[in-house]
Amino acid sequence: MKAVVVYESIYGNTRAIAQAIADGLGGAQVVPVYAADGLSADLLVVGAPTHVHGIPTTRSRQVAAEAAHEDGDTHIEPGAIEQPGLRVWLRDLPDGDGRCAATFDTRLDRAPWFTGLASRGIAKRLRRRGYELLGSESFLVEDTEGPLADGELDRARDWGHALVESLALNTGQSVG
């Protein structure tokens, strides 16, 4: 089975988590959302940073990029404000026809009721598109722009491996 990890990232934290998840999946393809048109996968893993309690909007991405630009020291991911963003990509995603998916987000290390969860909104949209959800996970950052909290990359790799096991239980197939 083919697995693809699609992500949106502003400061690079979500990209790093996406890559770690792909490593845990056994080397899945990792694609930024703005370059993810026409992908085909048996397992689709989708993630984003949590902005204003949910999935980033065009405006929230612009504000984040502008704030980093003003700061001068903060790295901005190439294509961070490219279109489409994850909201539009999910809206235009072809029907999943029962294929499997999983969602993740990066967020501040605070209670979910305080930060929100982008993964929740992503999961809702994927279910509407006909995907069967295997799971959702949040990965923590220490501050708005990062860095990732200690141990989060290892946890992301472990979660990717757990998704492989879950997929095998659900479908009798493995990622390859």
Range 3-171: architecture per CATH: 3-Layer(aba) Sandwich (3.40)
Whole-structure pTM over 0.85, yes or no?
yes
Tens digits of residue pLDDT in 142-152: 998 889 999 99
Q: List the one residue out of 72, 91, 76, 101 whose CA is nearest residue 14.
A: 76
pLDDT at 70: 74
CA distance 36 to 6: 7
Helix (H, G, I), strand (E, B) or coil at 82: coil
- Residue 93, phi then psi, degrees to nearest 5: -65, 130
All structural domains of the chain with their residue ranges: 3-171
Averaged confidence pLDDT in the chain: 91
Tens digits of residue pLDDT in 7-45: 999 999 999 999 999 999 999 999 999 999 888 888 999
pLDDT at 122: 98
pLDDT at 173: 62
* 69-78, 114-123, 166-175: range with lowest mean pLDDT: 166-175
Q: List the one residue out of 166, 159, 168 whose CA is nearest residue 138.
A: 159
